[in-house]
C-alpha cells in the first residue's frame, strides 16, 4: 500500500474495542484527539462498538474504519486471539501509515511483539499515563485507578505507578 503524505505530526493509531470503549466511558476520548490524528479500526472492531457510542465516535471523523485485506493472516491469528485483536494486528502489518498499535490483552500483545511488526505498542494504561503527563487530564492516580475499576477494566495497579 502506498504511504500517503500526512500534514499532521500526531500519530495514526489502530486499536481494538476495549481502548475506545474505555476512553469513551471515562470521558477522555476528546483528550485522545490531541494525542492522535486518527484511530483506524478494522470493520470488526467498528461493529463491536455499541450503537450510540459508535455514532458519537464516528461523528467527528476521529475514527476511520478500514478493511483488512490479509485474510490469511487474520485466520492464523484467530487461532489464538479474538476477532478484534487479530484484525488490529493484521491492519498494523499491512498499513505503513499506522504508527501505534493499542492493545490491552496480554496474549495479543505477546503475539504482536513476536511478529516484529516495527510499530510502537501501547495499552490503554500507557495512553492514560501520557494524557496525565501532558496535562490533558487532571486526576490523581488513585482516582484514576478507582474509575478504571468502576469501568470494569482489569489491570495491575503497578502499571499506573511505573514510569
- The overall longest dimension of the chain from CA atoms, in Å, is 45
Angle between helices 83-94 and 71-78 (to 10 degrees): 140
7 within some domain: no
How many domains, the chain?
A: 1
pLDDT tens-digit series, residues 102-116:
999 999 999 999 998
1 within some domain: no
pLDDT tens-digit series, residues 48-100:
876 666 777 676 678 889 999 999 999 999 999 999 999 999 999 999 999 99
4 within some domain: no
Q: Grid coordinates in use for 47? A: 461493529
Q: State the CATH number of the domain containing residue 77.
A: 3.40.50.1010
Q: List the domain range (segments joined by +) for residue 54.
A: 12-161
pLDDT value of position 2: 44
* Arithmetic mean of pLDDT over the chain: 88
70 within some domain: yes
93 within some domain: yes
31 within some domain: yes
3 within some domain: no
Amino acid at each position: 500500500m502506498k504511504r500517503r503524505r500526512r500534514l499532521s505530526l500526531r500519530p495514526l493509531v489502530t486499536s481494538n474495542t476495549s481502548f475506545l470503549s474505555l476512553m469513551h466511558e471515562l470521558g477522555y476520548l476528546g483528550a485522545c484527539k490531541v494525542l492522535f490524528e486518527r484511530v483506524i479500526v478494522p470493520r470488526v472492531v467498528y461493529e463491536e462498538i455499541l450503537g450510540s457510542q459508535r455514532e458519537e465516535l464516528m461523528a467527528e471523523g476521529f475514527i476511520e474504519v478500514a478493511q483488512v485485506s490479509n485474510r490469511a493472516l487474520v485466520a492464523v491469528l484467530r487461532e489464538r486471539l479474538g476477532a478484534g485483536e487479530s484484525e488490529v494486528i493484521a491492519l498494523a502489518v499491512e498499513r505503513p501509515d499506522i504508527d501505534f498499535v493499542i492493545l490491552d490483552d496480554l496474549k495479543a500483545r505477546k503475539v504482536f511483539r513476536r511478529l516484529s511488526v516495527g510499530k510502537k505498542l501501547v495499552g490503554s494504561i500507557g495512553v492514560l499515563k501520557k494524557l496525565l503527563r501532558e496535562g490533558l487530564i487532571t486526576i490523581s492516580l488513585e482516582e484514576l485507578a478507582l474509575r478504571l475499576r468502576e469501568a470494569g477494566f482489569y489491570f495491575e495497579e503497578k502499571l499506573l505507578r511505573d514510569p
